[in-house]
Amino acid sequence: MLHRLIRALPAGTIAVGGGLAILGVASYVHIAAAGHRLSTVDMSKVSVVWSIVISLGFGLFLPVEQETGRIVAARAARGDGATPVARRAVAVSGAVLAVLLFCLAIGARPLADALFDGDLGMVAALAGALVGAAVSYATRGILAGRGRFGAYGIQLGIDGGLRIGLSLALVFADVRSPLAYALVLTVAPVVAVLATLPPTLGALGPGSPQSLGGYARGLGLLTISALAAQTVVNIGVVSAKLLAPGEAALVAALLSALILARIPIFVFAALQASLLPGLSGLLARGDTAGYHRLLLRATGVVALLGIGGGVPAILLGPWAIRVFFNAPDVLGTADFAILATGTLAYMLALVLAQGAISLHRHREQALVWLLALAVLAAVTFGPGDVRLRVEFAYVASSAVAAVVLAVLLWRVRPAAELVSPAKETVS
């Protein structure tokens, strides 16, 4: 059974999975370390930084990785090099990062007052973490597109190993500054990128010109959909902070609960990194049957992940977040059942979204996630208890995205969406 499951995965999933396993453990160690050394108020600050970095980092820079990986994989299938695409990826990432840092500098004081109890240092930590995200995703797109999943996994492993080491060092040194724990999110990814720079550069090679328009054709829509998707999965902590500013215990507990309930997403990320290049490569070779098989297998794997990770989270979640994260005792089994259901629906939506991206359905995918975002807002700002509103918003928005994307893919004919070399390389 296990052998069949492994064979059903896209090439590179196991290599990436090893690095992601370390990075996933690192997330728990990092939050647990902060939870055991910081006050509830300070822990809520780290929780908000963590949530924003995940949302903005994934939302703004994961599309660069995805589009880079998709184009590079299609080029590799034709024997074309990746250097022109890499230049576009670096330019786009740098421009987005510059805009983000400028906005943070201009709005530092209002952000500090609204989210960090006036602590400007946490805004600086947020800026640094976004730098780490920008350089990480740009390089991973090149590695994924060229099939260098060993180096991809090593980068993730170094990142995770450093987060674990730095977090434990802060604990043993009895550091009680929220800024110190937040800065771990900057140092670890930057060092990991520098350590894996040689294999990244080695994956390039000369190639035909890549126009900025050809690269960015779907990037804007992809960014919109990614931002909306990451908002769906990560905004709960920030929503609770804004809707119930006096309930620091709820904010801290929600982050711990979401991390635990989203364990399957960390595992799924190993599949996601290789799924899009795999689907794009199959379409570039005209193998539509292989495309359908890979997408169906990925959906099955995700369903197993969601159920296999959700049941333990429901049964042990309330106890686990108290013991391992020192979280306040404000969430119960029902809360974890809601969050686990949302995670399953969200992962199904992500798999189907990869299928849509590989077919160049960027606009439709963006509209689906914007619809999910509207559902999220409607539930979050509706009547009722803040905790339940935040939790049910996660489930409802994820389920809507999964259902609509499934209908979209059911009605699309992949053979009509194959990418011609000219479309990817026109200068």
Q: Are 405 and 368 in contact (CB under 8 A)?
A: yes
Please provide the DSSP assignment of 318-339 as one string: HHHHHHHH---S---HHHHHHH
Q: Are 51 and 235 in contact (CB under 8 A)?
A: yes
In terms of C-beta distances under 8 Å and separation of at least 24 residues, what long-range contacts does 296-299 make, across chains too?
A: 297/8, 297/9, 298/9, 298/10, 298/271, 298/351, 298/354, 299/348, 299/351, 299/352
**What pLDDT, on the 0 to 100 scale, is given for residue 416?**
45
Q: Which residues contact 426 (CB under 8 A, 6 or more apart)?
A: 209, 211, 213, 214
| Separation CA 71–CA 73 (nearest Å) | 5
CB hemisphere CA count around 307 (13 angstroms) = 5
Lookup: tokens for 249: 């215990």
| Separation CA 243–CA 59 (nearest Å) | 23
Torsional class of 147: left (φ above 0), alpha (ψ -120 to 50), beta (otherwise) = left
Q: Determine if the pTM surpasses 0.85.
A: no
Q: Are 356 and 409 in contact (CB under 8 A)?
A: yes
Task: Split the chain (427 residues) into runs of 10 and give each run's mean pLDDT.
Answer: 45 66 82 85 83 78 82 76 81 90 92 85 91 89 82 90 94 90 92 91 76 70 81 78 74 77 72 70 76 83 84 86 77 88 91 83 86 93 84 92 88 51 38
**What pLDDT, on the 0 to 100 scale, is given for residue 425?**
39
**What pLDDT, on the 0 to 100 scale, is given for residue 345?**
93
Which residue type is seen at 422? A
Residue among 148, 155, 240 nearest 190 (CA) = 155
**What pLDDT, on the 0 to 100 scale, is given for residue 128?**
92
9: three-class secondary structure by DSSP: coil
Q: Which residues of 26-35 are buried (b: 16+ CB within 10 A; e: fewer)?
A: bbbbbbbbbb
